[in-house]
Amino acid sequence: MGMKILVVGSGGREHALCWRVRADRPAADLYCAPGSSAIAGIATTVPLAADDVPGLVEWSIANRPDLVIVGPEDPCALGLVDRLAEAGVHAFGPSAAATRLESSKAWTTELLDRAGVPIPDSAIFESPGDAHDYVDDSGNPLVVKADGLALGKGVLVCDTPDEAHAAIDAVMIERKFGDAGSSVVIQERCYGPELSVFAICAGISFRIIGSARDYKRAFDGDRGLNTGGVGAYSPVADADDELLQEVADRIIGPTLQAASDAGSPFTGMLYAGLMLTSDGPVVIEFNIRFGDPEAQVILPTMRGDLVAAMLAAIDGDVSKVDLAPDGTAAVSVVLASGGYPTSYETGHRIYGLDALPLGALAFHAGTETRDDGLYTAGGRVLAIVGTGPDVPAARANAYAAADHVTFQDSQWRTDIAATEQAPVGQSRMAVTS
């Protein structure tokens, strides 16, 4: 009999996780809560919302899965992993306390500052008036961040003081991100290419398993509003062994030690969002999960057994985890509903997914199946992923596949991985501590 595994979530990341678990463990008894019509093709869906902590705990006690993989951040912040641990169920993800690395930018900023982890010059405010005064005194381009979880949209990059003032009002007074905006972190803007580094962690030990570069702005040339992510690629030429070692030594290791010292040891997948400045890598965010759409390019280009690695982390030992890049490349292009990330219409028929060319995958983020076909049901609709021996080849496959898929008012960026022309070369060794 195969293992019984539950994946929590319903988006493109969870589709990719189910796809990878099914590939690694074809005999697994795989479930997904709540899943989606697309995920139902590879897993049994469970009609429980991802944030229904009591329901998920009750289901797990009754069904005794060997592993629960928590995809989104909200269930972790609500204590799902804590509750499952109390029930004797193995769950991969951080405790509610450790989830603060993502769920509270203020807590994380103070933690990293004390630990000497490189971050931009930062200030934390609970009063809009004090925040406005800081902007007036600064004179530098700033980034205004809602403290709490805001679906990846609570970070407002400001070119002028007027934009920073407007951002403070939007977050703290208009509460465009709800309670996430009860306080703000204001940081000085830093400049350079962004990089996402992923590490599987167990307390203070960890193993870097890959890197990716994602695209947050809605339109080509990094124009438009921030989104939950509209494209990504892996691997990234900037992320050579020397840089990854620096990230391990200066950022991930000290962060895990600081979280442990603060009584919040971290177990799970830690995603460090970095800016590669002229002074070295600087942390601009932490996520406590596989990214979305980064998971859709990391998981198809990773060798090793994902389930075994997660169970090893839960047991507190990642020294023998065999996850690492496999030497291939992937590029993800997100097909979004027209108008995303603001107002958009759904319910448009999707055509062409049954004719994707070789070297392409489709992970569903916002779709629904009706009697007569597949329809759009969200802002980010599909992540079309091209794979290949190097990034240019993967990019060509991604855009060739994207051209096959159509729905009314679709929008996507045409410049994902456009500047990454270096070949992948051989697989890099993961960095451990």
Boundary (domain end) residue, out of 52, 79, 96: 96
Residue 83 pLDDT exceeds 70: yes
The structural domain count of the chain equals: 4
Q: How many CB atoms lie within 10 A of CB 403?
A: 11
Q: Say if residue 422's pLDDT is above 70.
A: no
425 in a domain, yes or no? no
Shortest CA distance to 310 belongs to which of 252, 260, 268, 248? Answer: 268
Number of helices (H) and strands (E) in the chain: give both, helices first.
Answer: 13, 24
pLDDT digits (tens, 9 = 90+) for 317-331: 998 899 999 999 999
CA distance 153 to 176: 10
pLDDT exceeds cutoff 90 at 287: yes
> Token pair of 428, please?
């890099």
Q: Is residue 209 part of a domain?
A: yes
Contact 184, 145 (CB under 8 A): yes
Q: Give the three-class secondary structure for 385.
A: strand
Is the same domain home to 216 and 156?
no
pLDDT digits (tens, 9 = 90+) for 170-185: 999 999 888 888 899 9
198 and 173 both lie in a single domain: no
Cβ-contact 187, 120 below 8 angstroms: yes
For residue 400, what are its two tokens? 């060739």
Question: Looking at the predicted structure, is the pLDDT value of residue 2 above 90?
Answer: no
Q: For residue 35, what is the domain's CATH number?
A: 3.40.50.20
- Domain identity same for 257 and 297: yes
CATH number, residue 144: 3.30.1490.20
Same domain, 392 and 316: no
What's 264's domain CATH number? 3.30.470.20
Of the residues 182, 205, 221, the one at which a domain ends: 182
Same domain for 311 and 353, yes or no, is no
Type of residue at 328: T
Whether residue 290 is found in the same domain as residue 229: yes
Give the whole-angstrom CA distance, residue 28 versus residue 210. Answer: 25
In a domain, 272, yes or no: yes
Query: Looking at the structure, do residues 219 and 313 belong to the same domain, yes or no?
Result: yes
Residue 281 sits in the same domain as residue 338: no
Poorest-pLDDT segment among 139-148, 228-237, 299-308: 139-148
* Average pLDDT score over residue span 136-165: 87
- Tell me which residue range forms the domain holding 342: 329-411
- Three-state DSSP at 107 gives helix
Contact 143, 273 (CB under 8 A): no
The whole-number pLDDT of residue 1 equals 58
Average pLDDT, the chain: 93
Which tokens is 266 given?
């971290």
Note whether residue 428 is domain-resident: no
Query: Domain with 387 in it: what CATH number?
Result: 3.90.600.10
